[in-house]
Chains A and B, each alone.
Chain A
Amino acid sequence: MVQMGQGRIFTNVTTLDLGRIRRYVLESAVAGGGDPPAVDELVLAVNEAVVNIVHHAYRDEPGEVELSVSCSEGVILVILLDHGPPFDPTTMLSPDTTLPLDKRPFGGMGIHFMREFCDELRYRRDSDGRNELTLLKRFGPQLKGSP
């Protein structure tokens, strides 16, 4: 069973905070035993998720993001919480990466990376009315998609 770590609240988050948020995830995941290649991919996915929160949930107004990182039994779990209007990034379409760049729809690459670099993405609206996004990444001998 994955034990949840203590969360950290980042306030007035803008894109200028992305670096320190990435470092927090990196250090927490590595401290929890995550292997570097898996952690690098997860950090990228979390970065994209936070950018979505900044742009879509908070409409580029500084807002609060709560983030927790836990590692156990070959799994890294990151949970992101924000107070924005309901926004489910898991329903966004991924772009067709075989298309020339000029024919791709607006945006979408962030969610594409989240899907490609995480083994599971889950969204729900929690009982406090917050958006809750869970990113799960397996590491070690497990293969992506394995139970």
Chain B
Amino acid sequence: MLNMTIDILDGHVPVTVLRLEGELDASNYEQLISRAEALYAEGARNLLLDLEKVDFVSSSGLIGLHSSALIMRGETLADPEEGWAAFRAVSRDMLKSKSQEAHFKLLKPQPIVRKVLDTSGFSDIMPIYEDEQTAVDSFE
């Protein structure tokens, strides 16, 4: 189960805070992607994903995070039916270095979620914050 709510906060720039609650897995990661696409279409350009109430993120959940990060860069995603190969093709020209994402950041992951982010290497490329205001102020 995955619930999503939104807040718009003002830092140096407007920041959309997408608050997730529940578990992010193979059954629902596409809901996150759809929401990110909708937010971008509505004008959101800086997304902070609040993971404080997320108890579980699987490898499929990471696809949701990765896709959301690409969306915030302004990339058009390939058909999810094509799987990882499609996402890789979209991001090929983007992720030439391991610099951290500037428009997609994570907030307060729970310990097991943090382990998933660390084990996958996602914590190297997605900024993670423990304080919401600090996270909001980090967007430029």
Contact = CB atoms under 8 A, between A and B. Distances in A.
B91 A109 contact: no
Contact of B27 (A15, A97, A104): A15
A56 interface: no
B98 interface: yes
Contact of B88 (A54, A101, A117): A101
Given A47-B25, A51-B58, A116-B119, A41 B112 contact: yes
Q: How large is the interface on A (under 10, 10 to 19, 20 to 34, 35 or more residues)?
A: 20 to 34
Nearest to B110: A40
Contact of A51 (B60, B62, B120): B60
B27 A18 contact: yes
Interface in A88-108: 97-104, 106-107
22 contacts: A15-B60, A18-B27, A19-B1, A37-B111, A40-B112, A44-B116, A47-B25, A47-B56, A51-B26, A97-B121, A100-B96, A101-B91, A102-B94, A102-B95, A104-B88, A106-B85, A106-B88, A107-B83, A109-B59, A112-B120, A113-B120, A116-B119
Interface of B: 1, 23, 25-27, 56, 58-60, 62, 66, 83-85, 87-88, 91-92, 94-98, 111-112, 115-116, 119-121, 125
